[in-house]
Amino acid sequence: MTRSHPQGRQQPWSAPITRRQFATDAATAFVVIAAMPGRVLAEAQMAPIVPFKAHISDTVLHDLNRRLDQAKWPDQLPGTTWENGADNATMHALADYWRKGYNWRVQEAQINRFDQFTTEIDGQNIHFIHERSRRADAIPLMLLHGWPGSIVEFLAMINPLTRPTDPALPAFHVVVPSLPGFGFSGPTISKGWDPQRISTALIILMERLGYRQYGLQGGDWGARISQLMASRAPTKIVGLHSNFLIAPPPSPQAIAQLNEQERKAFLGFKAGEESGYFRLQETRPQTIAYALTDSPVGLLAWFGEKFQAWVDHDGDFLTVVDRDTFLTNLMLHWATGTVGSSMRIYREALLTSGNAAPLARFPAPVGQAIFPKELISTPDAWADQQFNIVQRTRMPRGGHFAALEQPGLLVTDIRALFLKIAPSPG
């Protein structure tokens, strides 16, 4: 299922697991797996992993072109740009490039450079990249995206992580899942795929791949899911790196004790204009799904407005995230018909939020990367109470889509964390 690699010194996290070892070493995993209705431990281990290649049919691509050609455009008030939402001129230019200049087959080939697979967990198809390093001492690392993201966020990071040019730097076996309901994982087909259920499925995925211990990295929903994984399977997580580390107020009085700048950083997003999409997607995602599934221009505007607002730029997000990358991320929602199901994570999280137990403080070492234009900033004191933070980096630039905007900074910070907490390679 994966390429063969030179033999060398094996680390505990990369040693293959036999059936006997799995049965005797899975006390923590059993707790989360047994909570899944109708699943048993053996099934979690033995379900098939199937090789996968990205391919979108010509029929889907031709239909997209037809819809772009026949798009019906809204008016826009004279003298306005982004203040009321997606800017008409920018959307026209992007749609024109999408129709006439963008080449999906080139981008498809870029995705297919990496080993990809699918498997079924809890009745749901899960797609993932599994790119192994040639280094025998490589550390398994799962990278987790959010919304409106996809595996595309991490494509530029995979080779630097798996193939560091300096042998003194840690190498990684990289696993990048498409979250259930996103991209090549396809739409979710049952209720209840909230972050807790997703975290359980991804713990099972890493068990199925034979990784007894591993690291995690995530932003947006991926940050929340990685925190749940680390909390629910603490003996398996050697380190957690996050560029969206959110800690709850440690007491009822904590918010009142914040200064004005801290309060705005922590509460400003939910109270401001930028949160309108959030409220819609956590209450009525199905309604907006009709429009975004039917209209590529509508989807372009829905995503484009978020990138313009959340990327760290000097006026145009496309100067930081190039057009092809932005459109490829869009295509993984459009061509797979998953824009509606990707938004359901907001609704599912809302429906189960009252049942979720508060995250316990877990011992896994945590690296926190703080990008200056992130949507929410947790006070350091709160994060220190919740997490075992061994590294905190205040980045010079970057926003919410850190892996797309500043992949080099993110890779460097991930390496620095695992140099601190993992045995030296060699």
> For residue 345, what are its two tokens?
């994570």
Strands 172-178 and 124-131: antiparallel
Phi, psi of 414 (to 5 degrees): -60, -45
137 catalytic per annotation: no
Residue of 102, 145, 400, 413 marked active site: 400
Which tokens is 96 given? 């024109």
The Cβ-side half-sphere exposure at 160, using a 13 Å CA radius, reads 14
Q: Are 399 and 311 within 8 A, CB to CB? A: yes
Decide if 344 contacts 221 (C-beta within 8 A).
no
Query: How is residue 263 written in tokens?
Result: 């309060």
Helix or strand holding residue 389 (H, E): strand 388-394
In contact, 219 and 400? CB cutoff 8 Å: yes
Task: Decide if 68 contacts 99 (C-beta within 8 A).
Answer: yes
State the catalytic residue, choosing from 220, 312, 324, 413: 220
Strand order of the sheet with strand 365-370?
Answer: 49-52, 116-121, 124-131, 172-178, 139-144, 214-218, 237-242, 365-370, 388-394
- 3-state SS assignment for residue 18: coil
| 346 flagged as catalytic | yes
Choice among 87, 194, 346, 413 that is catalytic: 346
- Whether 312 is catalytic is no
Distance CA 65, CA 68 (A): 5
Which residues have CB under 8 Å from 329's CB, separation 6+?
Answer: 148, 149, 150, 152, 153, 303, 404
| CA separation for the pair 148, 220 (Å, rounded) | 9
Question: What would the two tokens of residue 146 be?
Answer: 């959010």
Catalytic residues: 220, 346, 400
